[in-house]
Each structure stands twice: as C-alpha cells, then as structure tokens.
Amino acid sequence: MFLGIDQILAFLESNSYSAIFILMFLESVILPIPSEVVLPFTGFLIAIGKLNPYLGFTDAVVASILGSVVGFLLGYFLGIEIFMRFSKKLGFKDLEYEKGINWIKKYGDYFAFFTKLLPAVRSIAGIICGAFKMDIKKFLVYSSAGILIWSGFLVYTGYYLSSNWESIANVFEKAGVYVAAIFVLFFLVYIFRKKITSILRINKRK
C-alpha cells in the first residue's frame, strides 16, 4: 500500500474535500490508494455532518474520472512496460498487471467498466486501456459508469454504517475482489429493485 491507513484517515479528516480529490485522483491514475477506505470514510464524514453529501460524492467521482483519463493518456503515449518495471516500487504486484492485461484481451471495452468495480486493479485500469489503444470515448463512458457505481456503493455504505464504516473495508481486505463484486451486485439490485420488479411483473402477464 502506498499510504498507511492512519495517514489516509488523518489527511481526510484535516483536509476534507481537497483530500478526497487528491486521494481519488492519484488512486485512479496509478497509485494503490485503497478507495475501499477513502470512500466509506467519506460516507462517515457525511453522516456526522462534516461534509456536504452532494459535494463530497461529486468530489470523489470527478477526481476519479479525471485521474482515469490521465492514466489512460499515460498508457496511450508511454505504453505499459515502463509501469510494469516500477510496479513493485509503487505498491503493486506484477500479478495485477498480468491479470489486467489478460482481462482486457478477453473482455475488450467492457474491461474499462468492470475493473472500476474491483479493488487494486482499478488503479491501473486506465493505463492498461490506454496502452491497448481503446477508443477514448468508450473508455470515458464505461469507466465513468463503473466509477459512479463503485463510489456510490462505498460512500452510501460508509454513510449507512456511520461509526462502523471500517467493517466494509475489513470485508474487502479479507475477502478480496469476489466479495467486492457480490457487494456491488447486491447494491445495484437494491438501487434498481423497483424497475426489476416491474419488469418481472410484465413478463408474468405475458
């Protein structure tokens, strides 16, 4: 990890909006800063009234999108080898890059979406997409959709759990990407439950 948890929390508490922006921007460019800590803590700060919910959430999303674009441009113009060379110094394992490369070869443009819903590899997704010369318009659409879902899920969870916000970070740390994906899936079902119910009712009538 590039920064310790205590350092991240202290930075967020003392600098609020600017800290959220800086951390989420750097996390989306290349650094393995855990958004599964930053975003739930942002939700907690919203719950105790320290942050405006709209400004806090928008801050995180805009920073993530801008950081992803910067990462994309770095990958596009510099390639991926240079980043793999220094991956361990930045706090990544070579496996994360290899996993990302295999996924983008297999899933194409959808890689930009689903990797934004997963810890670790989301930080280098922009670089990989750029290095593989993905269409930048598609990259923006898919990655922004993933960022909105991931950020909304974690900020809302931190807000809902309030002083117990750390429990979500602990779950991600212990159980990894598969549990993250399951949590996000349940979140999506919860958000769109009315639409899903209405679709099911229409199908039953048919």
Summarised one tens digit per residue, pLDDT across range 42-94 is: 999 999 999 999 999 999 999 999 999 999 999 999 988 888 777 666 666 55
The predicted model gives 178-186 an average pLDDT of 61
**Spatial separation of the C-alpha atoms in residues 147 and 189, rounded to whole Å:** 17
pLDDT of residue 115: 87
100: closest CA among 73, 66, 134?
134
Give me the number of domains the chain comprises: 1
The structure's pTM equals 0.83
Cα angle 146, 56, 154 (rounded to 5 degrees) comes to 45
DSSP category for residue 34 = -
**Spatial separation of the C-alpha atoms in residues 83 and 160, rounded to whole Å:** 37
The predicted model gives 123-146 an average pLDDT of 94
Say how many C-beta atoms besides its own lie within 10 A of residue 12's C-beta. 23
Contact 133, 39 (CB under 8 A): no
Name residues whose C-beta falls within 8 Å of residue 106's C-beta, 6 or more positions apart in sequence.
none
What type of residue sits at position 35? Answer: S
Say how many C-beta atoms besides its own lie within 10 A of residue 188's C-beta. 15
Place of tokens 């979406």: 113
Look up the domain containing 163 and give its range: 5-205
Q: Compute φ and ψ for 124, nearest 5 degrees.
A: -115, 5
8: closest CA among 124, 165, 177?
165
pLDDT category at 144 given cuts 50, 70, 90 is: very high
